Amino acid sequence: MRDRTNAFGKRKKQIDFQSAELAESASELSNPARGWYQIHTFFAEQEPDFEELRWCLHPKDTLVFLLIDIGHFQDRDLDQEALDRICRILSFFSERSYDCIVRAVYDREGKAFLREPSLFPQVRSHLEQIGRLMERFAGVVYVFQGMLVGSWGEMHSSRFLSEARMRQMAEILRRYKGEETYLAVRRPVYWRILHEDQEGERVVQADDMGIFDDGILGSDSHLGTFGTQSRKCTSWNSPWERTDELAFETEIGRSAPNGGEVVYSPAYLRELTPEIVLDVLGRMQVTYLNRAHDTRMLEVWKEWKYPGTGVWKEKSFYDYVSAHLGYRFLVRKAHIVPRRKHHTYDVEIKIENTGFAGYYQEAEICLEYADSSGVCSSEVLEPRVKGWKSQECRTLACTIEAGEGGLYLTARRKKDGAAIGFGNVSDGQGRVFLGTIAGKQ
């Protein structure tokens, strides 16, 4: 840009933008609502030791799985003491800024027929009680798994899983859940049963319900998660074979988080490679995984190397998966051009979600800079991050009046201001340095 003079003959500064190197970082980010979790088990009739619980929390996790056993109340409603206790449990994790995956169950031993209520009205009543708690803690409960019933709460081996009853249970949960609380069912076929109005539609209309698959990679069918017949050869309300179900999970995972547990199987492990596992996790749109359920499979991943190129080449496969569970925003390019008007710049930034899954909560991406008066300022580049799909690139643009100084990119979740880090090398505060506006005489 050439020098110019003002009305008094004084030369203005020549302005230049010095772009930063947007290097990718090979690190996991402690971003909200994605990643690894560990399970904490509670009993509705028993007060937890909250002091001991403090020492059991994993320092890097932003997710936590709360397994709440209500089997003690199989023949009556939860009393007020039990309801207050569950509130204290949710408050404990809320105060520590965890996003909670919650599963309330009658059974934890594979004995659903013995532990469940005898009559369905009691199940409905319990769901109403749990639903009201979910409503109260809508900002804390990220995913509510299952519908209380089945062995381990996994929606199998139960007398209450007819299609009609499942629809009644889902209706209760939907009535109470918050806007950013998602439901999850154990198998894709259950999702279809609960969306019978979509049978015959060419394109699935995904909503607030995802899948929790607790048999990931345990066998070709994920331990019974999938069926054996192709979609073309069976009905909407029947399980489909693996390829069709994974394609189906890709679609519903665009709008709701999927996750679960990987399972070690010596026989099936021989069928797997890093490339196959990456393909499965991507097709499933996996947002969250259990870090402690079957560590034998995770140990295999730690021995494998990432098979691709770039900054992750030859890095631990486990580390790559850890970093890409859920969403991972990576700034690919920043283009900043001075306009003719002094201190005015056109900004264009290209960002890709390189994670396995999308982003499901309200958030915004902002540009931070010093304005023409030297005052710190911020411009919203993207006001609606929710719905940003896996592998989707967006180009964000704005025009700013800026003075000399650095330009930074930041992202925050709207409901609590939680910082969302980018997959680039950052300044230690989660901000991506884009470059510097500098002036010279």
Q: What percent of the chain has pLDDT over 90?
A: 85
Coil/strand/helix, residue 320: helix
Q: Residue 288 has what pLDDT?
A: 98
Is 10 a residue whose pLDDT tops 80?
no
Q: Residue 439 has what pLDDT?
A: 63
Q: Residue 9 has what pLDDT?
A: 43
**Distance between CA atoms of residues 277 and 186, nearest Å:** 20
Q: Mark out the alpha helices in 226-370 (DSSP H runs).
A: 242-252, 266-269, 274-284, 295-303, 317-324
Dump pLDDT digits (tens) for 18-65: 888 899 999 999 999 999 999 999 999 999 999 999 999 998 899 999
Instruction: Tell me the domains of the chain and their CATH numbers.
Output: 14-26+327-440 (2.60.40), 35-324 (3.20.20)
User: How does residue 17 score in pLDDT terms, banded at 50, 70 and 90?
Assistant: confident
The average confidence (pLDDT) of the chain is 93
Dump pLDDT digits (tens) for 379-431: 999 999 999 999 999 999 999 988 888 999 999 999 999 999 999 998 877 79
User: How does residue 6 score in pLDDT terms, banded at 50, 70 and 90?
Assistant: very low
Dump pLDDT digits (tens) for 60-113: 899 999 999 999 999 999 999 999 999 999 999 999 999 999 999 999 999 999
- Report which secondary-structure segment, H or E, holds 115: helix 112-115
**Distance between CA atoms of residues 114 and 109, nearest Å:** 10
Dump pLDDT digits (tens) for 211-231: 999 999 999 999 999 999 999
Kindly provide the b/e burial profile for residues 24-36, where b requires at least 16 CB atoms within 10 angstroms of the residue's own CB: bbbebbebbbbbb
Strand partners, 15: 439
Dump pLDDT digits (tens) for 257-316: 999 999 999 999 999 999 999 999 999 999 999 999 899 999 999 999 999 999 999 999
